[in-house]
Structure 1
Amino acid sequence: MNANPLLKGTLQTIILKLLEDNTEMYGYEITQKVKQASAGEIMLTEGALYPALHKLEAEGFLETFTQVVDNRVRKYYRLTEEGGKEVTSKLKEAQGFIEQLQTILNLKTAAK
């Protein structure tokens, strides 16, 4: 993951939203989708991605299954019913934070 500490706080939201939009994905696929969507500006590392996936799974928001592809076992992730509800909650939380941040950062501009 980029050294950007802002990304760390949004990683779970990003993962949940990607899985909502794509039904099921495996780890490398998630990293590539984020890279593509951000035009290469956000690069998730395995060291950041997999602990987040495991935490979401432990909290009951994701379930996993494996599939053999080209003689290799891939672990896929998909949302549970609770995970689907969590996506909505996380997106509302992120949107609210972004709006508050914009208000704070624009205070000087508004005061002029």
Structure 2
Amino acid sequence: MSSNQLLKGTLQTIILKLLQDNKHMYGYEITQKVKEITRGELILTEGALYPALHKLEAEGLLETYTEVVDNRLRKYYRLTEEGGQEVTNKVTEASNFIDQLNLLLNLKPSVK
């Protein structure tokens, strides 16, 4: 299983956390931020990103707005109030899962 397959299971959490940290982002910016933070180890494709963004928007966790940048319309995503609350839940859930995975793989659990 490649790291990109593992990424799919945490994609919503990653998107929500990035938007919490950056207030608002557009799609390509999100893909580049993931690449930058992971030093190129994780590549987030548009084919994975946009369905996840649309799902989060449909669930009421994200909202969008557009701006003209360099004579081009750019669609930005930002957290709704509910999305801001969900980030905490998702990050805690992911952290707990990582701790359990570390135990199962006999790795050192993360320090809290």
Task: Give the TM-score taking structure 2 as reference length.
Answer: 0.91
**2: distance between equivalents of 1:45 and 1:101?**
26
What residue in structure 1 maps to residue 99 of structure 2? 99
**2: distance between equivalents of 1:3 and 1:9?**
10
**1: distance between equivalents of 2:59 and 2:72?**
27
Structure 1 gaps, min length 5: 108-112
CA positional deviation for 1:4? 2.7
Q: What is the number of residues matched between the two proteins? A: 106
Task: Give the TM-score taking structure 1 as reference length.
Answer: 0.91
- SS of 2:73's partner is strand
Matches within 5 A, 1:1-112: 4-106=4-106
Percent of aligned pairs sharing the same letter: 75
Structure 2 gaps, min length 5: 108-112
- SS of 1:48's partner is helix
Q: Which runs of 4+ in 1 moved over 3 A?
A: none
**1: distance between equivalents of 2:35 and 2:8?**
15
**1: distance between equivalents of 2:106 and 2:78?**
38
CA positional deviation for 1:3? 6.2
What's the RMSD between the two structures over aligned residues? Answer: 1.3
CA positional deviation for 1:5? 1.6
- SS of 1:40's partner is coil
Larger of the two Rg values belongs to structure: 1
